[in-house]
Chains A and B, each alone.
Chain A
Amino acid sequence: MPLGIARSVLTTAPAGVATTAARAFFSDRSMSSTDVSTYQAEMTSGNRFANSNIISYVYWIRALDAEIGTNNYRLITYNIANGGGGCWITDNSGTNYGLGFNLYNGSLNIVVFSMKTGSTYGDTRSAFNTGFCDGNWHCVMVRCDYTNGAKRHLYLDGEDHSSNNTPGSAVDARTGTNTKLNDVRYVSLRVLAANDITGGYGNLNQDLPAADTGPIWFYDSDLDWTDATTRGYYYDASYTDGYVDGGTDGTAGGGSQPELYLYHSASTLVNGGSLSPTIATATAGTGTITILTTADGPGSGSTRT
């Protein structure tokens, strides 16, 4: 049967807790190096997301524009062979820039970018490059309900930046079902490891080693980022970097316990969420992971230089 493909364009609430800085990590610092290493959470049977259509997450990132090349760079992946998605940072030569995330169900790919007109980091490419990729810690909030086009948002530092894949475009409202999130076997912080046989990617050219990664909250439910109280559980502009610490289970800021709460201890990445994944490192070549202390992590006020 003939197949067709249509695509649009090619081309502050009180948190109630004192601020506490967190640890973070990064891999290699050279964009040209294929020696990279990162973490992945393996979700075995009985330890996977329950919802196949909805995902919400929060994470902290620190990057420098001068260290980012002209590509898409995957920050988080949770896809399988024919479903799921991920989040990336973009500064290519096309019309795209900023952060983006997708959800795919095998035929419909929903994409949300951070190029909202008038937004602090999304109004122009330079606003993102100089404002977001400035070496300071920033908070990213993702919300995507595959079945409801009104529940798709990308917030940066507590502000709505949601758009489609061209500057100022409206968020894609098309709907579908079954993105297979409940079958995701690995959540990887950057490129999905090639040894994930259900959807391993292993494209190291799309890894972003030159970025620091802080704590991450993953929910298999809808978190309404348009609600200031909900945002305040994770981001509070009155705190250093805006960082609201989640404690050991992600709830210290006032939010509910996520399915995955990945944060760095003094020695490795650990999970404080309700699921019980196996945390492992995924390494290519001689890549190593460098741990940042609380004096350099989100909430510290320090800058990547």
Chain B
Amino acid sequence: MDTMHTFDTQQELIDWVKSTAGNEWYSIPFQIEEQIDGEWTTPSSDTTFN
């Protein structure tokens, strides 16, 4: 069962991932989506964790 977490900004998402998964983020399957006009869709920019 996927768990959804929402953030207001990309940086908040990055900070949360780093605080919960640390440097092992790559070993966890996830999908980032962006809400545009109420619809969840492919983000307009990539998210980098390295």
- A109 B46 Cβ-Cβ under 8 A: no
Closest 9 CB pairs of A and B: A106-B46, A7-B30, A82-B46, A107-B32, A6-B2, A111-B29, A2-B35, A82-B48, A72-B24
Question: What are 22 inter-chain pairs, A to B, with CB distance below 8 A?
Answer: A3-B34, A5-B30, A5-B31, A6-B2, A6-B30, A6-B33, A7-B29, A8-B28, A71-B24, A88-B27, A100-B27, A105-B46, A106-B47, A107-B43, A107-B47, A108-B30, A110-B29, A111-B26, A165-B27, A165-B28, A174-B31, A206-B24
Could you tell me the distance in whole angstroms from the C-beta of B24 to the nearest C-beta in chain A? 5
Could you tell me the distance in whole angstroms from the C-beta of B19 to the nearest C-beta in chain A? 12
- Using an 8 Å CB-CB cutoff, how does the interface string of A162-175 with B read, 1 for contact, 0 for none? 00110000001010
- B31 A6 Cβ-Cβ under 8 A: yes
> Would A86 and B26 be within 8 Å (CB), given that A1-B34, A3-B9, A6-B4 are in contact?
yes
In the complex the two chains form, what is the Cα distance from A79 to B46 in whole Å? 14
- A96 B1 Cβ-Cβ under 8 A: no
**Chain A residues touching B, range:** 35 or more
Could you tell me the distance in whole angstroms from the C-beta of B1 to the nearest C-beta in chain A? 7
- Does A239 lie at the interface of the complex (its beta carbon under 8 Å from any beta carbon of B)? no
| Chain B contacts to A: CB under 8 angstroms | 1-10, 12-13, 16-17, 20-21, 23-36, 40, 42-48, 50
Residues of chain B within 8 A (CB-CB) of A9 are 28
In the complex the two chains form, what is the Cα distance from A106 to B31 in whole Å? 9
- A1 B35 Cβ-Cβ under 8 A: yes
> Would A1 and B27 be within 8 Å (CB), given that A81-B50, A106-B46 are in contact?
no
